[in-house]
Each structure stands twice: as C-alpha cells, then as structure tokens.
Amino acid sequence: MGAVEEGGKAVTGIIETFKSQPMVLALVLMNLGLLALLYWTAEKQAALRSHDVEIMGEQQKMALDLLSRCVVPKAQSLYFSLPLKPLPFK
C-alpha cells in the first residue's frame, strides 16, 4: 500500500471516531480554540510590551536631555558654608 492509502485510512479512522464519539470532536475544537486564544493574547501582549519599551526609551531620552541642562552647584553651597553647632543636651 502506498502512503496516500495509509493516510486515507488514518483520516477515515479519525472521522469515524468523531462520528461515534462527538465529545472527542468537541474537545479537539475546544483545544484548538484555546490555542488560538493563547496565540492572540501573546501577540497582543508582545505588541503592548514593544510599545511600552519605545515609550520608556523616549522618556529616558527626555530625562537625559533635562539632566544635561542642569547646572551643578559649587561645593561651597549654603548648606556647607553654615557652621554646624551641636545641640544642647538636657
């Protein structure tokens, strides 16, 4: 027998199983639906993650731009120029 005949017998056997036990067909269809749902949610999640990464990159660029424009104060600031006195102990 050839491969086509063997494949035909296998498909015929599967169809007969589905005819005699419709619950098997329902379970197969439910599993295929679940796989499709999982693929769809994973695809949407990947697109959302990609969008979030782009937004975070833009925000980091903006923060870097703001930080590059900051003026760094000298070491002799108001906080360091005041003499520190200990608090009285009571």
In tens digits, the chain (90 residues) has pLDDT values of: 688 888 889 989 888 888 888 898 899 999 999 999 999 999 999 999 999 999 999 999 999 888 888 776 665 555 556 666 777 776
How many of the other CB atoms lie within 10 Å of CB of 13? 10
Rounded to 5°, angle at Cα 85 from 82 and 90? 150
Q: What is the pTM of this model?
A: 0.54
What six digits make up the tokens of 85?
A: 């006195």
**C-alpha separations of 27 from 21, 23, 34 in Å:** 11, 6, 10
